[in-house]
Amino acid sequence: MSPSLSTNESPKSQKPFLTALDGRSTGKPPIWLMRQAGRYLPEYRAIRATAKSFLDFCYTPALATEATLQPIRRFGFDAAILFSDILVVPDALGQRVSFETGEGPRLDALTDPDAIKGLSELSFDRLAPVFETIDRVKSALPPETSFIGFCGAPWTVASYMVAGRGTPDQAPARIFAYQYPEAFQLLIDKLVEASIAYLSRQIETGVEAVQIFDSWAGVLPAAEFEKWCLLPVAKIIRGVRSRHPLARIIAFPRGAASHIPSFALSTGANAIGLDTAVDPSWAKKYIPPDVVLQGHLDPLVLIAGGAAQQAAVREILTAYRDRSHIFNLGHGILPQTPIAHVEGLIRQIRYWEG
Ligand code: CP3
């Protein structure tokens, strides 16, 4: 496909989220929350109960569209994020994925290095309901609301593919990568290619920005971080931009700590999602000034609420008043979060006088 400037890539936008992502001033930061569609919302729990499995839910456009729109209707966030999961990619590469209630994802673990060669090409047929969801959401969103697509970063997705489940320290994938570096590189390369194709198709279907979630970037030693996180994400961003030169891309290398500045420079992401542990005064000083910062309220302070929440929100707003900033959490919102606390957060940001 030739590089195109589709309407969703228009360089100047009136939408606050896109304005901030383009590095232009918005006064108050726009806001959205990672995992903003989900179990803390009663209306989500109600429609979730109608689907056989979580994957069925993700692959049913009517339900996924509704889940995407629910937090927009309730809170008026500045951006909607496509309702899906990072694990639809392994599913579309032919690795069986399921979600056990209360236990998280289960995959047929890739313990045999030769099995990686057996993965199929990314199936756009399997992902067709995701693209249909994008199409439906696009026409239902209010004009001021931006639309974000996403994928998991290769390292994070590979950690589930190798272990067959979530693990506290990603040890199975890390051991596999040390024992079978060539096979692991092949897996990462396949995920890079799949992610470029998948994100490009999301952009062509109508999302206005994409986020690459590297939720498990923080566990790797420096050399492994470079090989398995920084370089693959840089390749994805280059690959997407070779098809869509103006694509807006947010990278979220959770836990990458002191690696963040070089990660931001080398990947060329428009924005970096910061995690809970990052010190705002450090971020301001060491992350290049043309990189937009997104984040990074502690999801737990949003459960606590009250004075602690107000002070934490004020600290972030004050720290980033001179930078392009998109307000978000430092990781996903938790199911036990009171809705009143989310409402309080939005009020505080909208009424902030800086
Ligand atoms: O609102 C949104 O942010 C959009 C939807 C979204 C989901 N997952 C829905 C979901 C997004 C962007 C994700 C990303 C995702 N999925 C990540 C990266 C972000 C992060 O939180 O670190 C990861 C690592 C996954 C993999 C995954 N999906 C796990 C480990 C689990 C089980 C744990 C859990 O939170 O339940 C899921 C399931 C999942 N994905 C749920 C939702 C709403 C809960 C399942 C349910 O409702 O039954």
Q: Model confidence over 266-322: pLDDT tens digits? A: 999 999 999 999 999 999 999 999 999 999 999 999 999 999 999 999 999 999 999
Nearest in space to 213 (alpha carbons), one of 154, 170, 262: 154
Domain boundaries, the chain: 16-350
Exposed (0-12), middle (13-18) or buried (19+): which is 43, by Cβ within 10 Å? Answer: middle
SS3 content of the chain, % helix, strand, coil (to 5): 50, 15, 35
Could you identify the atom of ligand 1 that is nearest to the CA of residue 254? 22
Instruction: Give nearest CA residue, ligand 1 atom 35.
Output: 104
DSSP strands (E only) in 132-260: 146-152, 209-214, 249-253
Residues 132-178: tens digit of each pLDDT: 999 999 999 999 999 999 999 999 999 999 999 999 999 999 999 99
Nearest in space to 177 (alpha carbons), one of 231, 120, 225: 225
Q: Which amino acid is at 110?
A: L
Q: Which residues line ligand 1 (CB under 6 A)?
A: 34-39, 48, 54, 81, 83-87, 99, 104-105, 150, 152, 156, 166, 213, 215, 332
Q: Quick one: pLDDT at residue 164?
A: 97
Kindly report the backbone phi and psi dihedral angles of residue 280, in degrees, each rounded to the nearest multiple of 5, phi listed first. Answer: -55, -35
- CA dist 142 and 46 (Å) reads 23
Residue 176 · residue 217 · CB < 8 Å: no
Nearest in space to 147 (alpha carbons), one of 79, 198, 211: 79
Which residues are paired to 99 by β-bridges? Answer: 105
Indicate the pLDDT class of residue 11, thresholds 50, 70 and 90.
low
Which residues are paired to 105 by β-bridges? Answer: 99
Candidates 2.130.10.10, 2.160.10.10, 3.40.50.12370, 3.20.20.210; CATH matching 16-350: 3.20.20.210
Average pLDDT over residues 85-109: 94
With 70 as the cut, is the pLDDT of residue 1 above it? no
Entry pTM: 0.95
Indicate the pLDDT class of residue 3, thresholds 50, 70 and 90.
very low
